[in-house]
Amino acid sequence: MKIELTTQQKDAQAKFRAFVDEEVIPYANRYDQQERTPPKLIEKIAERGYLSAVLPKEFGGIGMDMITYGLLNEEIGRGCSSLRSLLTVHCMVAHAVCKWGNKSQKEYWLPKLASGEVIAAFALSEPNVGSDAKNIETTATLSGDSYVLNGQKKWITYGQIADVFLVFAQCSGKPSAFLVEKNSPGLSIQPISGMLGVRASMLAELHFRDCRIPQENLVGKLGFGFSYVASSALDYGRYSVAWGCVGIAQACLEACIQYTSQRKQFGVYLKEHQLIRQMITDMIANVKAARLLCYQAGYLKDISDPSSIIETSIAKYFASTTATKVANDAVQIHGANGCTNEYSVARYLRDAKIMEIIEGSTQIQQITIADYGYQEYMSQSASTVSQNLLARA
């Protein structure tokens, strides 16, 4: 069965690609070297409604279907993984507020998030807590009509410029989620620089020292923080990252086809060498496979199939490992040129490695996917036994 995009999806994809070709790709290496995303670029993606992609129209959003949202992430990821990371974390927070926020939170925050008037960041990771997110150490204590936060968050994407953070903290031993504005008393923000990849994503550490926020800033109920708010947001994040990885791999493929068609060695173009053609073949096959897994996850999300969660994990696992492999081969094909800032493949490789760590590391995905495999096997075995017993009765 061939997957066919609708006319609307094809038109959207063409617009996304044109925007990235014109406004992102020519400058992405500079953003990487300067370790910043220009405000003007963020304004441009906000003007096009990309920051409101997952929000319903009633709150000023576009209400994209998940396939179209995936195509957006692929194209922006093809141009700049840092910019795609902004799309990821901003939409994660918007989705969380839309799904779990109360009426006043939705009415106040969602239109601002949709327009880009407010930039949001997702604050879960801590210095001592990464994959083991249930055991966050930041605390929230109810004091009168306020919550008082103490602790530290680290590796917060676009934390340097975010206006509001979705912060996860333990409240009486219950992981809970809170909206914290950047100017809240007791919150200090420290930039992080010198990262391996996604250098323009303006990471930050957040320090909470008796940071007081209104009681109504609790998102959902106490204890809902990880199992509900964070989990649903992270599922969206994994989906975005998976498509972004397809974008990285596609960018590598395009760069290699162009490079091997122009550079000669031993009197012939590189593309005439059989080993180069083998590497290109592997790239094409793996990029297509990763994209198909993302299509599958997106389709299941659009029809609200519960299996979309595990299929998203599978897509993220395969796409991120594929991006790293393809980027590694791209650097190899480019030789010494691939190890310089002059060619983008060096950035693609650094960014791809980060993709294997964020939104659930490769190893966490392996654990999750293997558990699913064993559960499916046991379920199918039990069903077969039951059918055999009924047949004998």
Residues designated as active site: 359
Q: How many CB atoms lie within 10 A of CB 381?
A: 10
Q: How many CB atoms lie within 10 A of CB 296?
A: 17
**Which two three-digit tokens encode residue 268?**
């012939």
Nearest CA to 132 out of 166, 171, 168, 99 is that of 168
**Which two three-digit tokens encode residue 316?**
């993220």
How far does Cα 289 stand from its chain's mean position? 19
Q: Which amino acid appears at position 73 of this protein?
A: N
User: Which pairing describes strands 187-191 and 204-214: parallel, antiparallel, or unpaired?
Assistant: antiparallel
Q: For residue 318, which phi and psi values (nearest 5 degrees)? A: -70, -45
First-to-last alpha carbon distance for the chain, in angstroms, is: 39
- Residue with tokens 């141009």, as numbered in its chain: 79
Q: How many CB atoms lie within 10 A of CB 389?
A: 9
Distances (CA, A) of 31 to 3, 59, 83, 166, 200: 35, 31, 10, 26, 6
